[in-house]
Amino acid sequence: MLVLLLASLLLTVPPDTSWKHQRLRTQMVEQQIEARGISDPDVLDAMRSVPRHRFAPNHPPELAYADRPLPIGHEQTISQPYIVARMTELAAPDSTDRALEIGTGSGYQAAVLAEIVDSVYTIEILPELATTATKRLQNLGYDNVVVRNADGFKGWPERAPFDLIIVTAAPETIPPPLIRQLAEGGRMIIPVGPTGRTQRLTLVTKANGEISTRELAPVRFVPFLRNNKN
């Protein structure tokens, strides 16, 4: 009897590491995200749920949940947790939304969005990163995310319009196709500015067909690359 009880306990209790990761995420949300004023409950829940360490497998978990961006190879980075949370909150995601992300990278931002919205379309220009992110998101069960390997400048016209668009690489000016693909009432969050210097996180909204642009915080993102083949 005792043996049976012990065996069932062992089977039902998650391995130590998952408690550890959960604890790291709870701390990350409290200390880095809530402490800096992020309050949307859906965003906080998503940040507590997505296993960020699985998106940065070459770093120890403590580093994956630290208050900093992380290299993911190919000279690209996964943004600092706070920046992901801030951009997600600014995009005001809703459960019925269709979202577009430009710059899949590791797939982390796409997963955070996928926890909240109905469907996520995400475009990555580097084929290796697109392939890895596709497999990773599948393995983690994010079946409402579709990854495409292409130049995100043109957006994804076949799936437009999008209620929200998040761009995670910085172009010098806002790509016009992305503005066109914003739905009525839609929100786009995009860092805009010169490569290698400080850019402006910018909120673009479309209401009654009118476009409004508001510059928010100074930020630093990797450059928006262009693919001549597309």
Which amino acids are annotated catalytic?
79
Q: To which H or E segment does residue 13 belong?
A: none
**Does 43 engage in binding with ligand SAH (CB under 6 A)?**
no
**Does 65 engage in binding with ligand SAH (CB under 6 A)?**
no
**Does 191 engage in binding with ligand SAH (CB under 6 A)?**
no
**Does 193 engage in binding with ligand SAH (CB under 6 A)?**
no
Residues 119-178 binding ligand SAH (CB under 6 A) are 123-126, 129, 151-153, 168-169
Long-range pairs of 173-180 with CB within 8 A, sequence gap ≥ 24: 174/202, 174/204, 174/213, 177/153, 178/100, 178/102, 179/204, 179/206, 179/211, 180/155
CB atoms within 10 A of CB 116: 21
**Does 189 engage in binding with ligand SAH (CB under 6 A)?**
no
Measured between alpha carbons, how far apart are the two ends of the chain, in Å?
66
Instruction: Pick the closer one to ligand SAH by CB: 99 or 123.
Output: 123
**Considering the complex, what minimum distance in angstroms separates the CB of residue 63 from ligand SAH?**
15
**How far, in Å, CA of 176 to CA of 180, rounded?**
6
Name every residue whose Cβ is closer than 8 Å to that of residue 140 and which is 6 or more positions away in sequence.
51, 54, 111
Residues 74-113 binding ligand SAH (CB under 6 A) are 76-79, 102-103, 105-106, 108-109
Instruction: Pick the closer one to ligand SAH by CB: 5 or 199.
Output: 199
Positions that interact with ligand SAH (CB under 6 A): 76-79, 102-103, 105-106, 108-109, 123-126, 129, 151-153, 168-169, 222, 224-226
